């Protein structure tokens, strides 16, 4: 039975494509409002990482069964993803965009941590392969994602610090 794995991969692929469209729109609106992009040089690596992650899953996971426990964990992460996007609204992007003078968001999941979206994405990168019984794949992409997030979070925190948001 391949249809559960195909359905899950199709869902994630469609979700990522829709998010890219939303992020592009939000980025354009923010930049037109005077926002500035910070550290764009890491962005192609992040896109390549996520593209390879999903492409590799399409190549390797289509014939694998979907573990219901890991699937439930993955779906819980989707609720977290919607919470983050719903909290940030038009400020949610896939790039680091800083709008000078705008207050730091401190509602929703941001009440509990500084970077909930990155926690959710890190979870997804590990959990989706685990849903297909692929722990080595999960570990490899988790390590690659950690490297990208190290650069990204450092750049984002510095950008926020220089605009007087962080202490």
pLDDT at 167: 43
Instruction: Write the pLDDT tens digit of every residue in 141-150.
Output: 999 999 999 9
pLDDT at 166: 47
The arithmetic mean of pLDDT across residues 40-49, rounded, is 96
Instruction: Write the pLDDT tens digit of every residue in 92-131.
Output: 999 999 988 888 899 999 999 999 999 999 999 999 999 9
Long-range pairs, 158-165, Cβ under 8 A, ≥24: 158/38, 159/38, 159/39, 159/96, 159/98, 160/98, 160/104, 163/98, 163/100, 165/104
How far apart are alpha carbons 135 and 144 in whole angstroms?
14
Q: Where in the chain are the domains?
A: 3-162
CATH domain 3-162 topology: 1.20.120
Instruction: Write the pLDDT tens digit of every residue in 54-105.
Output: 999 999 999 999 999 999 999 999 999 999 999 999 999 999 999 888 888 9
Judged by phi (left if over 0) then psi (alpha if -120 to 50, else beta), residue 103 lies in: beta
């Amino acid at each position: 039975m391949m249809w559960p794995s195909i359905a899950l991969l199709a869902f994630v692929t469609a979700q990522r494509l829709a998010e890219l469209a939303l992020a592009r729109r939000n980025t354009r609106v923010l930049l037109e409002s005077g926002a500035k992009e910070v550290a764009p040089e890491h962005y192609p690596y992040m896109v390549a990482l996520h593209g390879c992650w999903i492409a590799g899953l399409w190549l390797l996971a289509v014939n694998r069964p979907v573990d219901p426990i890991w699937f439930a964990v993955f779906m819980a992460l989707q609720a977290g993803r919607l919470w983050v996007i719903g909290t940030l609204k038009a400020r949610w992007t896939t790039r680091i965009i800083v709008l000078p003078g705008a207050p730091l968001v401190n509602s929703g999941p941001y009440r509990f941590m500084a970077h909930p979206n990155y926690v959710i994405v890190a979870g997804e990168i590990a959990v989706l392969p685990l849903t297909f019984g692929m722990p080595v794949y999960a570990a490899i992409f988790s390590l690659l994602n950690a490297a990208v997030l190290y650069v990204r979070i450092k750049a984002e925190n510095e950008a926020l610090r220089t605009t007087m948001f962080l202490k």
